[in-house]
């Protein structure tokens, strides 16, 4: 239940984050024992780059506590969508925070919103959507792959989020979102190979006052086909965006500086002809920024659109 609300102490069965560093985190379940490959129940010991952790020892400990490992230290953190995205088990390629933040902003999500998601995958975006619409909203998420849908359902149950989400195993391009959702949804998100095939079904689930639409596509051709389908079905404000994140590095750099103050003054009349007035060289330190040598690669295109109220379509 560690995702449901802020907590002080770790309970048995909670999902917790083992924080070793900014680029080294792990998610584990706080269970004292696990079942090994032979079907035997054994002590739950988690191995990290700083040594082993007896998971039994963290149950009852406060979140944020520094714990001792066999070869170093770590911190125990309560999970949130941002940390879960960095540590979750990958069943598919996932959407990361830069794209997710734009999706939530553009879909105008708030507590109480009802949203449809097709392409549950590993559940990275799903946890962010649930965080935005709780406690009075609801997420309806679809995946055509039966095993992935079942794994996602189990995760939501373990994280204490099952009251806010319904998981469906269905190919929405062929079968749509179901008659039970028609006219009940504020926003639709698609992460599909052929999103244009699901656009006609998406129109049916929007409320009479309309709503916002988003599709994530790795290729520009997918985005183009989606834009054409959106235009043909009465959507407006259609646009495609690509979010590229860049981290500038702040460093102190030493620069050579030439002092040319001598040119401001006339050469003394009594100076020797052999006397030379050369510029002096100083070294100064400045705080500056550098762009990284490598840049984050392309992730995908986000296509957004608005479905107008029913009287304006």
In tens, the pLDDT along 61-86 reads 999 999 999 888 999 999 999 999 99
What does the pLDDT average to over 204-209?
96
**69 and 92 housed in the same domain:** no
Q: Given this model, what pLDDT does residue 274 score?
A: 58
DSSP E strands, the chain? 15-21, 24-29, 33-35, 41-43, 45-48, 51-54, 66-69, 72-77, 114-118, 138-143, 165-169, 187-190, 211-217, 236-241, 249-259, 280-290, 301-307
d(CA 202, CA 221): 20
Q: Is residue 262 part of a domain?
A: no
Q: How far apart are CA 81 and CA 103, in angstroms?
A: 14
- Domain containing 22: what range? 9-79
Residue 196 is assigned to a structural domain of this protein: yes
What HEC string does 22-83 produce?
CCEEEEEECCCEEECCCCCEEECEEEECCEEEEHHHHCCCECCCEEEECCEEEEEECCCHHH
pLDDT tens digits for 232-261?
999 999 999 998 877 788 888 888 877 766
pLDDT on residue 288: 87
Residues making up the annotated binding site are 122-125, 143, 191
Helical axes 124-133 vs 97-106, angle rounded to 10°: 40
The answer to whether 167 and 116 are in contact (CB under 8 A) is no
| Stretch among 11-15, 30-34, 36-40, 117-121 having the lowest mean pLDDT | 36-40
Quick check: 213 and 230 in contact, CB under 8 A? yes
* Domain shared by 112 and 237, yes or no: yes
Comparison of pLDDT for 235 and 292, the residue scoring more: 235
- pLDDT the model gives residue 255: 82
pTM as predicted: 0.83
pLDDT, tens digit, 9 for 90 and up, residues 274-285: 555 556 677 888
Q: Do 35 and 131 belong together in one domain?
A: no
Measured CA to CA, the distance from residue 30 to residue 38 in angstroms comes to 21
- Tell which of 25, 55, 79 closes a domain: 79
Do residues 210 and 183 make contact, with C-beta atoms less than 8 angstroms apart?
A: no
Over the stretch 141-168, which tens digit does the pLDDT of each residue have? 999 999 999 999 999 999 999 999 999 9
pLDDT for 283: 81
Residues 131 and 216 in one domain: yes
Last residue of a domain, one of 79, 101, 133: 79
pLDDT of residue 291: 79
> How far, in Å, are 168, 214, 240, 285 from residue 219 at the CA level?
26, 15, 11, 45
What is the structure's pLDDT at 36?
A: 85
At residue 296, the pLDDT reads: 67
Summarize the annotated binding site for S-adenosyl-L-methionine as residue ranges.
Answer: 122-125, 143, 191
Q: How many domains does the chain have?
A: 2
How many Å is the Cα radius of gyration of the chain?
A: 28
Residue with the bigger pLDDT between 224 and 256: it is 224
Which pLDDT value is given to residue 122?
Answer: 92
Q: Is residue 94 part of a domain?
A: yes
In CATH, what number is assigned to the domain containing residue 132? 3.40.50.150
Q: For residue 278, what pLDDT is reported?
A: 57
| Contact predicate 161/135, CB 8 Å | no
Q: 149 and 96 in one domain?
A: yes
């Amino acid at each position: 239940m560690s995702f449901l609300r802020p907590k002080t102490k770790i309970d048995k069965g909670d999902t917790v984050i083992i924080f070793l560093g900014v680029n080294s985190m792990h998610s584990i379940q706080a269970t004292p024992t696990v079942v090994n490959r032979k079907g035997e129940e054994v002590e739950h010991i988690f191995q990290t780059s700083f040594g082993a952790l007896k998971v039994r020892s963290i149950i009852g400990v406060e979140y944020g506590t520094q714990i001792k490992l066999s070869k170093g230290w770590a911190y125990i953190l309560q999970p949130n969508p941002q940390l879960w995205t960095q540590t979750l088990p990958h069943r598919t390629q996932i959407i990361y925070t830069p794209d997710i933040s734009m999706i939530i902003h553009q879909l105008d999500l708030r507590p109480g919103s009802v949203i449809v998601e097709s392409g549950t995958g590993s559940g990275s975006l799903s946890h962010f959507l649930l965080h935005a619409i709780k406690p009075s909203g609801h997420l309806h998420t679809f995946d055509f792959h039966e095993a992935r849908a079942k794994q996602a359902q189990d995760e939501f149950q373990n994280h204490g989020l099952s009251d806010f989400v319904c998981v469906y195993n269905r190919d929405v391009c062929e079968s749509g979102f179901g008659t039970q959702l028609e006219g009940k949804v504020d926003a639709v998100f698609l992460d599909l190979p052929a999103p244009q095939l699901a656009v006609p079904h998406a129109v049916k689930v929007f409320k009479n006052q309309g709503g916002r639409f988003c599709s994530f596509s790795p290729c520009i051709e997918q985005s183009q086909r989606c834009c054409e389908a959106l235009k043909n079905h009465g959507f407006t404000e259609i646009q495609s965006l690509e979010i590229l994140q860049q981290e500038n590095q702040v460093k102190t750099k030493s620069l050579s500086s030439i002092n040319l103050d001598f040119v401001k003054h006339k050469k003394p009349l009594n100076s020797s002809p052999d006397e030379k007035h050369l510029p002096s060289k100083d070294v100064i330190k400045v705080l500056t920024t550098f762009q990284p040598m490598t840049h984050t690669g392309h992730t995908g295109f986000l296509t957004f659109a608005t479905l107008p109220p029913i009287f304006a379509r």
